[in-house]
Structure 1
Amino acid sequence: MSAQLEKQASYEATFAHNFRKQVFSRVPAIPARTELAWKTVLVTGANVGLGFEAVRNFLRLRPKLVIMGVRSVEKGEAAAAVLRGEFPDPRIEVWELDMESFRSVQAFTERAERELDRLHVVVLNAGLGKLKYERVEEGGCHEVSIQVNYLATVLLSFLLLPKLRPTASSSEPGRLSIVNSGACLGLSLEDPGNGRLLDSFDRPQKFDGFGQYGLSKLLVMMFVATLAQIIDPKEVIVNCTDPGATKGTSFFRSVNWIMGLGVRAFLSIIGRPTKDASRIYLHSSLVLGEESHGSWTDWIIRAWPKTMYTQQGQQLSERLWDETLEELKFAGVREKLQKAL
């Protein structure tokens, strides 16, 4: 449905709109009829901030199992212990997942394949804002906060799709919501000409932490919109979810203390508490239906980043899709996707 909201895109990308939405709008309550009995939920980045509060919100709906995907199992178990004290009935499991490691993503999904009959709801929440250019140790040529985080998110999405599909005993569609950010709404991608689009981000001399973070989120939305064109929403509903500015998270923990003070001061004015912002995840993954497939959402469906309505944006989305599948060929994602269709 975001595809039909082009007229709203320019305004929704403005600071005025987002300030107004942050300050004067309230995240609605989850409808009383919503429940998760006998269902399995996965939330990544689940031991702190928005991820932790999202798990708490999901647990209130009495699922059979909630999996907390975390980078540190020790910290994850400490967070899970708090939640087990509040919700003794549902099973809560802590699984290791490092979104800066393709090997970790593959190991995580292999475990899901072995141990789970089905996943019903997946919220990919893990993310971190970095101001410093970094490379991963796995031999790739991408800085961690842009391509690797984007590619790991895409890889995890692809590899979890089979577990999200309906089964004979559970016929309703799976739900995949990928957390995004309004930082990308007014951005556009630079056409690299004959060069690869992904490679055009791998330039230390041009690295801009906040700007590149927004561009990485634009890549995610372009990916989701393309994926939604080939995935039947009666099998898996996939969308992006934007919690908006939120205070009380550790998202900017890697910035220097001076910038950290400025960020915290700004968020104290417009930021929502995590308990409210995390409720948006439930709206996107439970309350909104097939109409949200391939869309940008919070508690309603909103316009895509405005560049996605342009001819150049659509062409770059196609290039991004092809390059992404090529980049992830080591995991056989193209073959697995074709088999799943």
Structure 2
Amino acid sequence: MKFTFRDGIRSQLRPLPEVSTFAVDLTGKVVIVTGANIGLGYETAKHLASMKPAKLILACRNLETGNKAAADITRATGCSTVVCWQLDISDPKSVKAFVDKFELEGGGKLDILLENAGMNNFSWKRAVTGWEQTIATNHLGTAHLALRILPFLLKAEKPRLAIVASDVHYWVANPNEADTDGVLQKLNDQKQKGKFYAITNRYFVSKLLNVLYARALSSHLPPGTSLTVNAVNPGLCSSALLRDLNAVARIPMQVLSRTVARSTEVGSRVFVHAVVARELDGKTGEFLQSCKVDEPSDFVISERGASASKRLWTDTLAILSEFDDQIPATVNTYLK
């Protein structure tokens, strides 16, 4: 689907349903929301807490702000099962420690995982792994957590995994570059030439990777599973993500934000809908926005997009296997 800037504005102005219209009872359910200490993640967790989950885990890089968020949510909703666990999704050691903790204290199964943690850099930085920070966080870390915690998702009755993407994936410069050998390694080369590889295009690319990866993981789910994997776009929201922009990019985005941006509470409705709405039962490998299934970019649904998704799957597994020796066994045991 072609999605113009004008389409984006129309989408921003479209009213979204109140959470009460699709809320469910989460009694007995275990839920994880990453990046839940502020903004969209916090508002999402707050909505989910009101549905009485057995355990609601806020996975946050900063424990101090995460614990405060947990206390605030408990106070606002009366939900006494909200906890904060430390997670830096760009650090494989932190991902492994988080899942190890879940194995001991999570209750044996996971019903909902919303992977919301992300960043938007306009300058070149590297994560502890040596990978460029945006790709390390938005794609590799997101993929790592999804695979590491997959066994617990598959033990739940109707589990859902939602990966936060964006409508900016429609506007990636030269998207066909995603269908080339070693694209992740090229994205990690600061000297790589071309608009696709420019750091100013990096957030857009990372969100394209999120859509492609959600489709790839969904295609590898075992037959008969009730687990669904979808990519979800909250739209432009007045969130802390703007803090990562440089001054040149921040000013026009702040102007646009004041004009058409959703509040984080309104944007969070899209996330909550993605992980609880009954109408999405059985729908997997989809792109969700404005509380409905929508068509992703023309590139994603093209033959080259399908090829890029397969390449991304293979390359991602190879990289994650270097970080974590349990990844190959997990893939071979639980996926087709």
Q: Same fold (TM over 0.5)?
A: yes
Which residue of the partner structure matches residue 327 of structure 2? Answer: 333
The SS at the match of 2:113 is strand
Q: Kindly state the Cα deviation for residue 22 of structure 1 after the two structures are TM-superposed.
A: 0.6
| Matching residue within 119, 123, 126 for 1:132 | 123
Which residue of the partner structure matches residue 152 of structure 2? Answer: 163
Which residue of the partner structure matches residue 324 of structure 1? Answer: 316
Q: Kindly state the Cα deviation for residue 210 of structure 1 after the two structures are TM-superposed.
A: 4.0
Which residue of the partner structure matches residue 185 of structure 2? Answer: 199
| Contact kept? 1:71, 1:96, Cα under 8 Å | yes
1:269 aligns with 2:249: no
Alignment of 1:221-236 (within 5 A): 221-232=211-222, 234-236=225-227
The SS at the match of 2:16 is coil
CA distance in 1, matches of 2:101, 2:121: 29
| Contact kept? 2:22, 2:273, Cα under 8 Å | no
Q: TM-score, normalised by structure 2?
A: 0.90
| 1:97-145 superposed Cα distances (whole Å, 9 cap, x missing partner) | 002211111111111111112211110101111100111233x3x2111
What CA RMSD, in Å, does the superposition of the two structures yield over aligned residues?
1.9
1:255 aligns with 2:241: no
For structure 2, list consecutive stretches of 5 or more residues without a partner in the other structure. none
CA distance in 2, matches of 1:148, 1:327: 14
Q: Kindly state the Cα deviation for residue 245 of structure 1 after the two structures are TM-superposed.
A: 0.4
1:293 aligns with 2:280: no
Alignment of 1:171-182 (within 5 A): 172-182=157-167
The SS at the match of 2:241 is coil
Q: TM-score, normalised by structure 1?
A: 0.89
| Contact kept? 1:182, 1:242, Cα under 8 Å | yes
Report the number of matched residues. Answer: 322
Which amino acid is the alignment partner of residue 135 of structure 1? R
Which residue of the partner structure matches residue 305 of structure 2? Answer: 313
Which amino acid is the alignment partner of residue 267 of structure 1? S
Q: Kindly state the Cα deviation for residue 80 of structure 1 after the two structures are TM-superposed.
A: 1.6
CA distance in 2, matches of 1:32, 1:321: 33
| Contact kept? 1:234, 1:290, Cα under 8 Å | no
1:43 aligns with 2:20: no
CA distance in 2, matches of 1:123, 1:254: 21
CA distance in 2, matches of 1:192, 1:160: 28
The SS at the match of 1:239 is strand
CA distance in 1, matches of 2:137, 2:52: 34
| Contact kept? 2:214, 2:229, Cα under 8 Å | yes
Which amino acid is the alignment partner of residue 60 of structure 1? S
CA distance in 1, matches of 2:41, 2:314: 31
| 1:181-215 superposed Cα distances (whole Å, 9 cap, x missing partner) | 1111233141675x512112123245534411111
**Residue 236 to residue 203, structure 1, CA distance change in 2 (3 Å):** same
1:83 aligns with 2:73: yes
Which residue of the partner structure matches residue 45 of structure 2? Answer: 55
Q: Calculate percent identity across the aligned residue pairs.
A: 26
> Which stretch has the larger CA shift, 83-92 or 275-284?
83-92
> Which stretch has the larger CA shift, 145-154 or 293-302?
145-154
| 1:239-263 superposed Cα distances (whole Å, 9 cap, x missing partner) | 011100001x110212234532322
Which residue of the partner structure matches residue 190 of structure 1? Answer: 177
